[in-house]
Amino acid sequence: MSLVTKFADWFHKKDDRIMELHINKEREALKDEYNSLMKERKKMRDFINRLDALIDIEEKFLLNKEKGE
Amino acid sequence: MWTDLEEKLVEWESRFLKVNSYEDFDLDKEYLLREIESVKEEKKLMEYRLRKLDEIIAKTKVLIDDLSEDLCNKLSKGRSIATVAEAVKREFGNDFEADLNEGRKEIVKFLEKHYSIDKKSARQIFDLLEEAGVVYYELSVPAKGKHEKIDFVPLEADFDFAEPVYAFPGHWVINA
């Protein structure tokens, strides 16, 4: 399964889960889901930061090579 | 899912490292440009996912607040969190000078009497107020306190001195 499909699948399951918890009035479990989503968010932000760093380093590398450094 | 993402990123990092160490730059320039474009595409996808994740987080928060209001309503015989918080503020003011445990006990006692409810319900309402951030215990950490160790005396259940010593002073804030 591709990453795109995996994420979409994960996302839909999470959305269904939080709505189900709300309908069943499971406040504590909903709070746990919220905390776990915040952790996912942090991971995602870290991942974006690493991608950014990779782009910055390689663009700088290209620029320096073109300048002949 | 995160394992896949991590593997992809580590692969990019090691491929880029390899190319950066090559002497024959012209040979790899096109390759590097293509790879940078792929990383940019991946970043765009991640930013989209992050934005969607923010939506589900915001929705979850609203659903929790919704259930908290329902619970407060049930426990306090029909009052909202805001109404209860106002009543607590009227009784104790914005800054309530009391110890962590004593202050909590007093507010719970007030809720119990004010709404003619049992102690368990009053405690649960207090927890809702704390979760909503309208009632909280604030500790003042002095500048020098950041660099000093906090002393912890391992008290026994039958400790016999009058007052345990705390490093930082504190008070209750009622932010209704």
Q: pLDDT > 70: what percent of chain A?
A: 99
Would the pLDDT of B26 be above 80? no
Whether B140 contacts B66, CB under 8 Å: no
Whether B163 contacts B128, CB under 8 Å: no
Chain A residue at shortest CA distance from B21: A61
Q: How high is the ipTM of this complex?
A: 0.92
Per-residue pLDDT reduced to its tens digit, A35-49: 999 999 999 999 999
The DSSP bridge pattern shows strands B135-139 and B170-174 to be antiparallel
pLDDT mean over B61-78: 97
Higher pLDDT, B28 or B70: B70
Query: Which tokens belong to A21?
Result: 């918890």
Would the pLDDT of B159 be above 70? no
Type of residue at B174: I
Rg (CA), chain B: 27
Distances (CA, A) of A64 to A48, B27, B98: 24, 16, 63
Whether A33 contacts A22, CB under 8 Å: no
Distances (CA, A) of B165 to A47, B104, B111: 44, 19, 29
The closest alpha carbon to B126, from B142, B106, B148, belongs to: B106
Largest CA distance in chain A: 65
Round the average pLDDT of chain B to a whole number and report it: 90
Type of residue at B12: W
- The pLDDT confidence band at residue B20, using thresholds 50, 70 and 90, is confident
pLDDT mean over B158-170: 77
Q: Answer yes or no: do A3 and B4 touch at CB < 8 A.
A: yes
Whether B93 contacts B105, CB under 8 Å: no
Q: Where are the domains of chain B?
A: 2-65, 76-174
Interchain CB contact of A53 with B (< 8 Å): no
Distance CA A64, CA B13 (A): 19
Chain A residue at shortest CA distance from B54: A41
pLDDT mean over B26-38: 81
pLDDT mean over B149-170: 79
Chain B residues in contact with A45 by the CB 8 A cut-off are 50
Secondary structure class of B138 (helix, strand, coil) = strand
Q: Answer yes or no: do B1 and A47 touch at CB < 8 A.
A: no
Type of residue at B90: R
Q: Answer yes or no: do B13 and A54 touch at CB < 8 A.
A: yes
Handedness of CA B144, B149, B155, B159 (dihedral sign): negative
